[in-house]
Chains A and B, each alone.
Chain A
Amino acid sequence: MVDHASSTLTASLQGSARRPLPLTESAGTRTALIAIALGFLLLSLLLPLIVVFAEALRLGFGSYWAAIGEPEALAAVRLTMLTALTVVPLNAIFGVAAAWAITKFQFAGKNLLITLVDLPFSVSPVIGGMVFVLLFGLQGVFGPWLAAHDIKIIFAIPGVIIATLFVTLPFVARELIPLMQKQGTEYEEAALMLGANGWQTLFRVTLPNIKWGLLYGLLLCNGRAIGEFGAVAVVSGHIVGLTTTMPLYIEVLYNDFNFAAAFAVASLLTLIAFATLILRAILEWRADWQLARSRLH
């Protein structure tokens, strides 16, 4: 018994002197895995990108500029910008207030509140639009009242904005809550002990501390506000030139078989998506925090 044990031991020791330890996959396996991953990504990510631009330019540059210059296209761009410019600051204020309430104080019911904040993120965007139709549509709760006062929300711009507000609500809060949780309350306590009041503390101490997280949240919120489709599709009524945001306008063009124009507008959104990704990467690189990676958007 003892002999067998010692010979195996010797053998394995000798073996390890000849062969390196398997601390990583063999070169062949590595290459294969990289190939699979890259191939998969090429097919699923790169190809759609190429297609957007190829299809947009299929009829040539002239056609491309014409499509983008159409008054309805410009109206769509304006509406998208208006929506983003309204929705992002509002949700930013909400995000800061919510994060302040949740992270600087101890009270019961925090989990419930956080779940509510996350709710728009976890339901289908169609439902996001639908709830406002149920509230403000012709047959909705306030329908008759709104009609009587000649106020249009559904099938009008206010509806588009409110629906987008719903779906983009969580983004800034979701970034700030873990970040401010991690930072704790010491900096604020220090500022207060030095004589600062609440607003001075917020603007001179808290906001600079969270600036990268806040910017990141704004970026994500903006990206989603620009690209939102499902919720807006339900409330807008697809009134071209009035209530079509860029994504809706793309749908209208595409359903009319106006492919090149649809992709032309889509290419603009794709460029914005690129810019968003680049800015995200810069922010992640600049900031020390890794919260962006440990949660999902």
Chain B
Amino acid sequence: MRIEVKDLTKRFEHTLVLDRINLEIPQKEFLGLLGPSGSGKTTLLRIIAGLEFADAGVVEADGRDVSTLGFEERKFGFVFQQYALFNHMTVFENVAFGMKVRPRGARPDKQAIADRVKELLELVQLGEFEDRFPAQLSGGQRQRVALARTLTIDPQVLLLDEPFGALDAKVRVELRRSLREIHDATGLTTIFVTHDQEEALDLADRVAIMNHGIIEQIGTPNEIYESPKTPFIFDFLGRTNSFDCVIEHGKARLGDKELVVEAGIPDGRGVAFVRPHDIVLSPPDDPEPTQDAKLPGTAMVRFISARGQRAVAELLYERRLIEAETTRESLKQLGFSIGDKCTVSLRLPRIYARREAEKQTGIPERAAARPLLRKRLRSRLSATPY
């Protein structure tokens, strides 16, 4: 089933929760709605599901307005964040519910129901748990029961509200895999909501990033990660280092390079966002120019933390802190320790207008604040005799 959202708007009290959302989801797509809380993603999902109603706009399924469709024609499967399993029923009864409440004529007989339940429980790998009650199940198991339950109605679209939100990291990864397998096996158009960018980028065919009721960008995980259109998206998807630059005639000077800036970004003050793992460190007197933008001067290593495979280094550069990330081996090879100086180069920086970046993320302020605080504290301490 193909879903189209046209100019969907929703207000709650005096806030605009959804602002003229337009979205096209082709059949069989696995779409992720990603965003911080309050972005409207859950509301959008619930409106598509029919659990809530928009103030304006329409949701269409295969070209037909869903609000005109009855349950039989529409059949959207919805999995709730807290699963909403019926606690007084066994797993079997929960999964069978959708079939048992069909009107007399359309209801399958007992054997057919039992067969289908068993089939679905096998699909989610809970075949032995038929007679258990939800209270006796782990979070991951409950999640799978909720999924099986919703599949009994033969939905044409599957909608999941933060499906892995309440689970441990390890369970989450396993379930992600299962969900992807089920999607590929059933070919159901699937939309899920999450605030976890790793999950969205890992699972979805396409990701729509939402913020303050609008879709900021929609594209494949790679597109979004490598070419984030707005500073908000860049910052939301991972840790960010920012560097000031000036944009003139569509070009920005950053370190020893002049970079072409994307169309649409005005001249004036700009800022370059760089991921920690795109911060390249080299020995201080390395004269070799590379394809990366090398920053003038040197930075001092203030802090090193080798966490497992990754190593994170905190550098002080021109009174600002830079977070760099690299593999443990690379760091060992460079041989840096705290207090050493090094050269910083920026790989794959993304340039935005400074004004826009400040409005959306507050990043330039943050980085500058910390050394200042330390300076103030030091001056205060030096005033008191001790």
Contact = CB atoms under 8 A, between A and B. Distances in A.
A touches B (Cβ under 8 A): yes
Interface string B87-118: 11100000001100110000000000000000
A194 B89 CA distance: 15
B84 A189 contact: yes
Interface of B, secondary structure class, is: loop
A151 to B, nearest CB: 44
A186 B97 contact: no
Interface in A172-203: 186-187, 189-191, 193-197, 200
A269 interface: no
B98 A189 contact: no
B153 A195 contact: yes
Given A193-B49, A193-B51, A195-B71, A187 B98 contact: no
Given A190-B84, A205-B86, A209-B88, A195 B150 contact: no
A204 B80 CA distance: 19
B349 interface: no
Of B87, B89, B97, most A-chain CB atoms within 10 Å: B97
Contacts of B88: 208-209, 211
A187 B86 CA distance: 7
A189 to B, nearest CB: 6
Contact of B80 (A186, A197, A200): A186
Contacts of A196: 97, 101
B101 A190 contact: no
B270 interface: no
A190 B87 contact: no
A190 B78 contact: yes
Contacts of B164: none
Nearest to A188: B84
A216 B51 CA distance: 32
B27 to A, nearest CB: 21
Given A193-B49, A193-B76, A195-B71, A200 B84 contact: no
B314 to A, nearest CB: 38
Interface range on chain A (Cβ under 8 Å from partner):
10 to 19
B51 A197 contact: no
Given A204-B101, A208-B88, A193 B150 contact: yes
Contact of B84 (A186, A195, A204, A208): A186
A189 B51 CA distance: 7
B101 A197 contact: yes
A205 B89 CA distance: 9
Contacts of A200: 101
Nearest to B81: A186
Contacts of A195: 71, 75, 98, 101-102, 153
A276 B183 CA distance: 54
Contacts of B152: 194
Contacts of A191: 86, 97, 101
Contacts of A189: 51, 78, 80, 84
Contacts of B220: none
Contacts of A186: 80, 82, 84
A189 B88 CA distance: 16
Contacts of B150: 193-194
B106 to A, nearest CB: 9
A194 B84 contact: no
B119 to A, nearest CB: 17
B102 A190 contact: no
Interface string B262-304: 0000000000000000000000000000000000000000000
A281 B377 CA distance: 60
B350 interface: no
B101 A194 contact: yes
Interface string B140-155: 0000000001101100
A55 B243 CA distance: 92
B151 to A, nearest CB: 11
B213 interface: no
B77 interface: yes
B67 to A, nearest CB: 15
Nearest to B50: A193
Contacts of A208: 86, 88-89
Given A189-B51, A193-B77, A204-B101, 20 more contacts: A187-B84, A189-B78, A189-B80, A190-B78, A190-B80, A191-B86, A191-B97, A191-B101, A193-B78, A193-B150, A194-B101, A194-B150, A194-B152, A195-B153, A197-B101, A204-B97, A208-B88, A209-B86, A209-B87, A209-B88
10 contacts: A189-B78, A190-B80, A191-B101, A193-B49, A193-B50, A193-B77, A194-B153, A196-B101, A204-B101, A209-B87
> Which 6 residue pairs of A and B lie closest in terms of their CB atoms, listed nearest first?
A190-B84, A194-B98, A196-B101, A208-B88, A186-B84, A193-B78
